[in-house]
Structures are given as C-alpha cells and as structure tokens.
Amino acid sequence: MEQFAKNTIFKSLLKYAPIALLFISVLNEFDFNYLELKYFSFNFPFILIFYWSLKKSESLGYGLIFIAGLINDVVVGFPMGISSLSYLLICGFTAYLRNITLRPNMLQDWLFFLLTIVFASSLSYSLLVLFFSFKLNYADLLVNLLFTFLFYGIFAYLFQIYNKLAFEKKDD
Amino acid sequence: MEASRDDFVIAIRSAFLKKGNKQRFSLIFLIIFSIIFLALGKLNFKAIDYIKISINEIVYRSAFIASLPENYIQKGYNTAINHFNIYNDYNKIKSENQKLKSEKISNNFIVHENKRLKKIVDDYVTISDVVVAKVLIDKKSPFLRSIIINKGSKDNVKLGMAVIDGIYLAGKVVEVNFTTARILLLSDLNSKIPVTIEPVGLQSILSGTGKNDGKIQYLKEEYKIENESSVYTSGSGGIFKAGIPIGKIKNIPGVEIGVDFFSDFTQLKFVKIVSFQKEEN
C-alpha cells in the first residue's frame, strides 16, 4: 500500500516536470550563453513548449505558459506580454498541427517547428522594433533561430524517452 | 478545393477557439490578453507598471536562486580557463605593474593640478551618493545586455544613476523597483553615452554593439582616431561627471570605430551606483 502511494506521488511529480522545466528555463535562461561562443544561442522554451503541447498538451496549461512568458519578459527586460504572445502562438500552431495530423512524423514536426518559430519570432521582434523602438541584431536573431531549429531534434529525442518512461503505462 | 479550405478553417478554429484537453483558458483569450498587456504597457498604463514592479520583485529573487546551479557551472568553467591562462597573465601583469608604478608618480601631480583648475572654472563635481550593490542576475542574453542588482528605491537608487565597476563606467540605471534595479550595460545596442576621445579631445556618442564591445557613432569621417586612444565620459547632458574612464579605441571586426571596455562586464559581482553634484564652495 505504502509502495503504491509512493509510486503515485512519484508519477504525479513526473507529470509536472515539463512545466517545472519551463519555469526554471525562463528564470534561468537555459541557453549556455555564458560559454560566450560567438553567435551561439538558442531558445529552449520554444523547443519545450512546442514538443510538449504537441505530444502531451495537458502537461502544459495555457495559463501557466502565459505566466512563464510574463516572467521571461521581466527577466530579459522585454515589454510585458511579448513572450507570452509568442509562446501562445506556438501552442496555437501545435494545436493546429495536432488537428490535421493522422500519423505523427518526426521530420514533419521538425519542419513545422521551423515554420512556427520563424512566425512567432518574426511577429514578436517586429512588435519590439516597430512599436517599442528596440534595436536588435538581426544576424544574432537568425543564428538563434537556426540553433533552436537544430537543437529541436536532440531535445525532442530526449523528451520522447522521458515521455515513454513517465507517461506510458506498463502492462504487468 | 472548397472542402480543403473548410478543413483548414475548422482546424484553425478548433486550435484557437476551443479549450484544449484539461485547459482552463482558450488560446485566443490568452493571446488577446497578451496583446492588451502589450498595448497598455506601450501607453504607460499605471496598473501595468504596478503589476510589472510586483512581478519584478518576486521574479528577480527567484531567478537569483534558479540561476545558482548554472552559476556554479559557469564559475567552474571560468576557473578552468583562468588556470590555463595564469602564467601568461602573470608575465603580462608584472610588466604592466612596472609601467604603472612609474606613471603613477607623474599622474599624482596632474590630478592635483586638474582639481585646482576645475575649482577655478567651477566645474568640480563630487560623488554625492554611493550605493554598493550585488549583481543578482547577469543573463548575457544575445539580445539585451543588462544586469539586475539587489538595491532599489528603498536604498535611494534613482533612474539614470551611473554604475561604476572599480573606477570604470559600466552602465546606468534604467529601471528601479523597491528592492531591485535593472542596469543597462554600455555594451547594449540601446545604450547611448556622450563621450570624449583623448588625447584629441573629440566629442562623440558611444553605443554598445550587443556583444562585449562598443562603437563610436556620429563622428565626421574627416576626424582620424588612433588605436589605443582613451574614451572617457564627456559630462554632456549632466548625468555623468566628465572624465570617468570607459575604454580604449580598438580594431573590432565589423565595427568602424570600436571600443574595448576597461571593465569586463561578464565578471561583474559588485558595482557602485553613484550620482554626482557640483561641489559647494
């Protein structure tokens, strides 16, 4: 009985891991920028939100994603609402992809991810430049998008393993 | 054709308008909410400012704790790199020290003479308020170069105050909360500081490059600036006093007139927040 209770608590903790990781990554900007590698940066929240809202939408609540976006804006110093908007747009794109997909395919997801981040980033950075007079380095932005796109493959593979371990039921 | 368009509309409508599985809000509601947030922020709506300040207070403290593991990794990485460079650094510092010792003797005389002359022309300013602050968050975002410190309006930190690292200018205060403040570093693309380039005495504007360097802007092409010329604050605008050292002119790829900052913004741990005023006679 005790073992059963422990398992249940552990399982429910595993369920909240994606949202916990999202909050840690926006508070901590998990992107290896401290390595000071020239032109290297990527947007981990984009990968995380896209994968989990596509594969297991109930693991990330839209309300919590909205709050994570507000926190990201505060940490990075952007006007409030801009990251929330891009995160929610990613959720919208994944919900659309889920609706039209009968047979999930990794390559198709990956290409759709590129389309999604290009759209979400273009919109948010256009708003920043046009309405909030921010100066941005477009080369950095493009490289950031490229690395985010490339890293999706690696993280999607890791998340897939986690998804299998944490969420799929075992037949006893 | 008509059917595929209908399918597209149905899929879009279902994605944005319907509440998802176990979701409390629909996407379209939250997207509209984000846009309202942005619009009110743009219009400087007071309520948004209060929400922002409240979130800032909580988030900056939480981000400091959440950054601890990454900071340990970063510290380890920097320590390893420093160990590899230690012998070269020692030799370099030794020769620099010799040079500085001899320069210091002649500088002392110049400093006193300068003080005396500035008092005569009524341009002698002193530091009126100094607040020492700890760097809470240093994100090194590729888009924004800013840091968060653990002092705010409670400690008399005000917008526009200068941020000094040792004796070098590092940036200025751009956002003040009750117990925290955001510093815009000189290396940020949006930073603009009036400067003097010595020994020629040229007046110009220093802007960040978004990396770890700066660039001199709005200078006529006919002026020639030599490498290793020093850059100081000019005091124009009255925010900073004149003569705070900033950096040296250096060739930086892709930048017309580059500036190498004296202060290493990647290593900021404690900074001084200062304001200046004219000395009363």
pLDDT in tens, B132-167: 998 887 766 666 788 888 888 888 888 888 899 888
Spell out which residues of chain A touch residue B31, defining contact as CB-CB under 8 Å.
85, 88-89, 92
Its domain, for residue A63, covers 18-165
Partner-chain contact B41 A28, CB within 8 Å: no
* Cross-strand partners of B195: B204, B233
Which of A28, A56, A73, A13 is CA-nearest to residue A156? A56
The whole-number average pLDDT for the span B204-221 is: 84
Residue A4: inside a domain, yes or no? no
Q: Which residue has the tokens 């891009």?
A: A86
Lowest mean pLDDT among A9-18, A50-59, A112-121, B175-184: A9-18
The whole-number average pLDDT for the span B44-49 is: 79
pLDDT for res A129: 87
Its pTM surpasses 0.90 = no
pLDDT > 60? residue A33 = no
When the pLDDT of each residue in chain A is averaged and rounded to a whole number, the result is 82
Spell out which residues of chain B touch residue A57, defining contact as CB-CB under 8 Å.
20-21, 23
| Confidence category of residue A149, pLDDT binned at 50, 70, 90 | very high
Residue A3: inside a domain, yes or no? no
CB B162 within 8 A of CB B272: no
Give the DSSP letter string of A69-103.
Answer: HHHHHHHHTPPTTHHHHHHHHHHHHHHHHHHH-SS
Nearest CA in chain B to A42: B142
Per 3-state DSSP, what percentage of chain A is helix, strand, and coil (rounded to 5)?
Answer: 80, 0, 20
Partner-chain contact B42 A132, CB within 8 Å: yes
Nearest CA in chain B to A27: B63
Q: CA triplet B63, B46, B183: central angle to 5 degrees?
A: 40
Partner-chain contact B66 A27, CB within 8 Å: yes
CB < 8 Å from A in window 4-43 of B? 7, 10-12, 14-16, 20-27, 30-31, 33-38, 41-42
Instruction: Establish if B81 touches chain A: CB-CB under 8 angstroms.
Output: no
The sign of the torsion formed by the CA atoms of A75, A78, A84, A89 equals negative
Residue A157: inside a domain, yes or no? yes
Instruction: Provide φ and ψ at B267, rounded to 5°.
Output: -115, 20
Instruction: Establish if B66 touches chain A: CB-CB under 8 angstroms.
Output: yes
pLDDT for res A86: 92
Overall domain count for chain A: 1
pLDDT > 70? residue A35 = no
Give percent above pLDDT 70 in chain B.
90
The whole-number average pLDDT for the span A2-17 is: 69
What angle separates helix A17-28 from helix A138-167, to the nearest 10 degrees?
160
Over residues B78-114, the pLDDT tens digits come to: 888 888 888 888 989 998 998 888 788 778 778 877 8
Mean pLDDT comparison of A66-80, A115-129, B186-200, highest-scoring range:
A115-129
Q: How far apart are the first and last CA of chain A?
A: 17
Q: Is B176 helix (H, G, I), strand (E, B) or coil?
A: strand
Q: Which of A66, A77, A85 sits opposite B144 (nearest CB)?
A: A77
Give percent above pLDDT 90 in chain B.
2
Spell out which residues of chain A touch residue B48, defining contact as CB-CB under 8 Å.
80
pLDDT > 70? residue B45 = yes
Lowest mean pLDDT among A2-11, A63-72, A127-136, B59-68: A2-11
pLDDT for res A117: 92
Residue A138: inside a domain, yes or no? yes
Nearest CA in chain A to B137: A75
Residue A12: inside a domain, yes or no? no
CB < 8 Å from A in window 126-185 of B? 137, 139-144, 146, 175, 182
pLDDT for res A172: 42
pLDDT > 60? residue A159 = yes
How is residue B50 annotated by DSSP? H
Instruction: Provide φ and ψ at A151, rounded to 5°.
Output: -70, -20
Residue A36: inside a domain, yes or no? yes
| Confidence category of residue A171, pLDDT binned at 50, 70, 90 | very low
Which of A98, A75, A89 is CA-nearest to residue A118? A89
Residue A152: inside a domain, yes or no? yes
Residue A101: inside a domain, yes or no? yes
Q: How far apart are CA A54 and CA A101, in angstroms?
A: 11
Q: Which of B11, B14, B34 sits opposite A81 (nearest CB)?
A: B34
* Helix H or strand E segment including B242: none
Q: Which of A63, A80, A85 sits opposite B31 (nearest CB)?
A: A85
Nearest CA in chain B to A20: B66
When the pLDDT of each residue in chain B is averaged and rounded to a whole number, the result is 81
pLDDT for res A169: 59
Domains belonging to chain B, first-starting first, are 2-15+25-66 (no CATH), 75-187+267-278 (2.40.10.340), 192-264 (2.40.10.350)
Q: Which of A30, A66, A98 sits opposite B34 (nearest CB)?
A: A66
Q: How far apart are CA A58 and CA A54, in angstroms?
A: 10
pLDDT for res B265: 84
pLDDT > 70? residue B241 = yes
ipTM of the complex: 0.79
